[in-house]
């Protein structure tokens, strides 16, 4: 397919992988676009492509990745089925997963988000979900909100991506509403002995904020806990428990 011929070029840079495909920057006469190529060898990916096409025909929001072309089925140079979506290209800073849980042993310097940046990203994701649930013509449930599906642009604004598991809850037989991942991994020791995220936070508040928050967020250079930040975090976690 001529439109995506540059995907075979050595100059094409692989940006990052997602659960059902990989996103590439492609240089076109009109400028650079981001092309998500679906991995059709994985079970269920063709159906995910159809779901994403349907979803993106109905959604537009500042905290949701912007799509240019919603359906690009074709045949690749080897004669295999080829399915892709074309997104607006932006100077990405990777996914939230890369910032919260950086891989050790890489040559890149470790990434770190301060409290205001983390709070801003949380608000960005909340705004996107509020739009999907309450302000679309037909409500949409993402069903796969997790750090790896939250992309960060050049200003570290959070944008929700990867709608391959999304559902219209108003339609029958749409299945589970899915799992919403916390900032900590499910294998974290705080979740042992049948403790879940909500219970762990309730038990820690207000004095035990240090047990559930990233320590570097509220430690001064002398190692003492900064009280205003501790109170701020307690207030933020309290909102999470209410909702």
Given 81, 124, 130, 144, which residue is catalytic?
A: 144
Q: Exposed/middle/buried for 11, CB within 10 Å: 0-12, 13-18, 19+?
A: exposed
Please report which residue ranges of 114-206 form alpha helices under DSSP H. Answer: 115-134, 197-204
Taking CA atoms, 151 is separated from 119, 121, 148, in Å, by: 15, 10, 7
| CA 101 and chain centroid, separation | 13
Distances (CA, A) of 28 to 33, 34, 67, 68: 7, 10, 16, 13
> Does the active-site annotation cover 194?
no
Residue 158 tokens, joined: 């959070």
> Residue 174 and residue 4: Cα distance in Å, rounded?
33
- Which is it for strands 21-28 and 16-17: parallel, antiparallel or unpaired? antiparallel
Q: Are 160 and 122 in contact (CB under 8 A)?
A: no
Residues identified as active-site? 144
């Amino acid at each position: 397919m001529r439109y995506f011929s540059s995907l075979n070029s050595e100059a094409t840079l692989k940006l990052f992988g997602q659960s059902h495909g990989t996103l590439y920057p492609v240089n076109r006469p009109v400028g650079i676009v981001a092309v998500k190529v679906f991995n059709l060898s994985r079970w269920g990916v063709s159906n995910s492509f159809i779901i994403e096409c349907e979803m993106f025909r109905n959604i537009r929001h500042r905290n949701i990745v912007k799509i240019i072309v919603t359906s690009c089925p074709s045949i690749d140079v080897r004669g295999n089925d080829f399915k892709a979506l074309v997104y607006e290209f932006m100077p990405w800073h990777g996914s939230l997963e890369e910032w919260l849980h950086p891989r050790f042993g890489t040559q890149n310097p470790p990434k770190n988000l301060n409290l205001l940046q983390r709070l801003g990203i949380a608000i960005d994701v909340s705004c996107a979900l509020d739009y999907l649930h309450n302000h679309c013509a037909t409500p949409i449930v993402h069903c796969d909100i997790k750090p790896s599906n939250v992309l960060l642009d050049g200003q570290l604004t959070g944008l929700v991506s990867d709608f391959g598991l999304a559902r219209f809850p108003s339609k029958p037989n749409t299945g589970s509403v899915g799992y919403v991942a916390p900032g900590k991994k499910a294998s974290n020791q705080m979740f042992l002995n049948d403790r879940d995220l909500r219970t762990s936070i309730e038990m820690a508040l207000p004095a035990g904020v240090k047990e559930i928050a990233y320590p570097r967020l509220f430690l001064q250079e002398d190692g003492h806990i900064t009280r205003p930040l501790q109170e701020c975090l307690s207030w933020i976690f309290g909102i999470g428990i209410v909702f």
